[in-house]
Structure 1
């Protein structure tokens, strides 16, 4: 897009979750109904992101563009939940929140990426550090997302009350 000279904006995000679709929080919710032991990598860092925050940011960016277009509004912007974590700590936090809503016998064990890949076929290599710098979107549009822990609590509460895929 940039090489063609077309104005655009692109939102890059990571570890997106919500009550809808296929995502890690919903998988953890579904797995928590089973007697299950999970092995989760503990050496990959990222920032979980609530899908609702991405939607709000995109809407704000579109409205800002139509209200008062600026050259600084174009380009690639990063948006992710506030706070970094590992997949293992993310899973532990999700399980803690699920346990506040109902009983579960699910167990989570940490693993290095190397050990996990050795025991699982077909797993793609992931970068060890995938946190995004969201400074540009905040400076340009005044947009930021919530702490990922707050959003996970809200999603687990909603899943507990309404079940998956219901608003």
Structure 2
């Protein structure tokens, strides 16, 4: 199977490359320098030239706060580009897998979000991603997969930020009233690979990364894993704070837990386990930091 991965330079894109290559598939990795997905002619020409069986769209404008000041750019990348990909897959009969987000919900739920729950994005980022879902639905063959709180050994993410700050500060204040499910990008990549290999009926699915926690709780787990791995790891004092004490331009969902049971029922893909992946990811991040300091 020939797979085109857009956003190949991001953390999910890199994990997707690992997963598909390890399974013996031919991978066409396209980052921004290889393909401008916001240019319809470029997308059409690239897709017609390579004729992938599957396109996995891992490209996105993810600067949640910056999006409030750059709505046009956010919609261009998160929605208009998806329209270009949907049109291209329709020309060659390919299958589109589009990655979306928990930010399409407003976070007011008290139970994990199901695919049938009403969407109500609160900020530009969430609205642009929801618009992207609507464009993905125009593909003749598609699947939309929503995920939340993605982390890995690659790119920029909460885990890597916490490890860096632990070496720079004696104390940290972390929000304790936003609840979600950390999701290892490697687990999500494996799920997307299975979907590519055994495409289900068109639709939207949720991938859960495991049990839920707060950002404060996730930070505590990260530091504990790092401490177990590295004897001289610097443990900062971590203070829980409410969201009200950490104002941001974009409002975050207070509850971002996704129910992944539909994906398991229809395709047999079980939820991930960020707790099982955490130690290995922390080990890779610490090792990379040590190498960079030498």
| TM-score bracket for this pair, using the shorter chain length | 0.7 to 0.9
Shift of residue 110 of structure 1? 0.4
For residue 256 of structure 2, the aligned residue among 110, 113, 130 is 130
Question: What TM-score does the superposition give when structure 2 sets the normalisation length?
Answer: 0.49
Aligned to 1:158: 284
SS in 2 for 1:22: coil
Say how many residue pairs are matched: 154
CA distance in 1, matches of 2:229, 2:167: 12
Task: Calculate the aligned-residue CA RMSD, in Å.
Answer: 1.9
Report Cα offsets for 1:45-91 as digits up to 9, x if no partner: 100000001111111001102xxxxxx53111111211010111001
Structure number, greater radius of gyration: 2
CA distance in 2, matches of 1:152, 1:123: 30
Aligned CA distance change for structure 1 residues 46 and 32 (closer, same or farther; 3 Å): same
Point out where structure 1 has 5 or more consecutive residues left out of the alignment: 66-71
Q: Residues 13 and 78 of structure 1 are in contact (CA less than 8 Å); yes or no, is this contact kept in structure 2? A: yes
Q: Does 1:148 align with 2:278?
A: no
SS in 2 for 1:34: coil
CA distance in 1, matches of 2:238, 2:137: 46
Shift of residue 136 of structure 1? 1.1
Aligned to 2:196: 62
- Considering Cα pairs closer than 8 Å and 6+ residues apart, tell me whether 1 or 2 has the greater RCO: 1
Q: Residues 80 and 145 of structure 1 are in contact (CA less than 8 Å); yes or no, is this contact kept in structure 2? A: yes
- Residue correspondence of structure 1 range 2-151 to structure 2 within 5 A: 4=138, 6-65=140-199, 72-102=200-230, 103-117=233-247, 122-151=248-277
SS in 2 for 1:149: helix
Q: Residues 43 and 113 of structure 1 are in contact (CA less than 8 Å); yes or no, is this contact kept in structure 2? A: yes
CA distance in 2, matches of 1:9, 1:146: 19
CA distance in 2, matches of 1:3, 1:153: 37
CA distance in 2, matches of 1:139, 1:84: 21
Point out where structure 2 has 5 or more consecutive residues left out of the alignment: 1-134
Q: Residues 32 and 106 of structure 1 are in contact (CA less than 8 Å); yes or no, is this contact kept in structure 2? A: yes
Question: What TM-score does the superposition give when structure 1 sets the normalisation length?
Answer: 0.83
Aligned CA distance change for structure 1 residues 106 and 79 (closer, same or farther; 3 Å): same
SS in 2 for 1:152: helix
Larger mean CA deviation between 155-164 and 76-85 belongs to: 155-164
CA distance in 1, matches of 2:220, 2:274: 13
Shift of residue 148 of structure 1? 1.6
Q: Write out the 4+ residue segments of structure 1 that deviate beyond 4 Å after TM superposition.
A: none
